[in-house]
Amino acid sequence: MVITGNAVMIYTITPSLQSSQWNSLLLTIMVTLIILVAVFMYLKRSVMLGIITTLPGIIALIWTMGLMFIAGIDFNVMTVTITSLTIGLGITYSIHLSDRFVDEMREKDVNEAIKNTVNSTGSAIMGSATTIGGFGVLLLSSMPPMKDFGLLTTVSIFLSFAMAVFVLPSFLVLWARHGEKREN
């Protein structure tokens, strides 16, 4: 006797898909980190700036996955999309903020540079994060997978925004002050 059907197929395929998704996620983080380090090394002469710029996206990802665990939401094909979105948005928001901060540092002291950066680029990032509303509509869906997708996407976008605008500036100030000590 051979057991067949959709349930058996899903039960058989799911573990290999999840393993593949984890590998893809880790590879994405590592490639992103390598690219940012290389770009910031070439453009700004700083390896550490590339690492710092990657951190808020990784923190947002960890928080998003923690929420998935707490809410009992499985890591599946739909939710792996959200983890990719978290990395993409978190890194993009952080790149804009880091780049603007370095430009501001050319003309201003650290405190004035971070203030101008957060006021200008931070408000632009906040405007971009209004996509929360678009994905938030999915929370009204009658289908639980769509609700989960809407919830995790809105939380992911919010966390990416919050980490870039509220956490990254602290890292950037520490990076700049450490650089000043090295020059003196």
Query: Which residues, including other chains, have CB under 8 Å from residue 112's CB and lie 6 or more apart?
Result: 104
* pTM of the shown model: 0.80
H helices present in 72-167, as ranges? 77-105, 110-117, 123-128, 131-136, 144-162
> Which range of residues forms the domain containing residue 104?
6-183
Would 89 be classed as within a structural domain? yes
Would 1 be classed as within a structural domain? no
The CATH number of the domain holding residue 38 is: 1.20.1640.10
**pLDDT over threshold 90, residue 179:** no
CB 174 within 8 A of CB 51: no
Instruction: Read off the pLDDT of residues 143-156 as tens digits, 9 standing for 90 and up.
Output: 888 888 888 888 88
Instruction: Read off the pLDDT of residues 66-124 as tens digits, 9 standing for 90 and up.
Output: 988 898 887 777 777 777 777 887 788 999 999 999 999 888 899 999 999 999 988 88
Angle between helix axes 47-71 and 144-162 (nearest 10 degrees) is 150
CB 32 within 8 A of CB 50: no
With a pLDDT cut of 90, the percent of the chain lying above it is 26
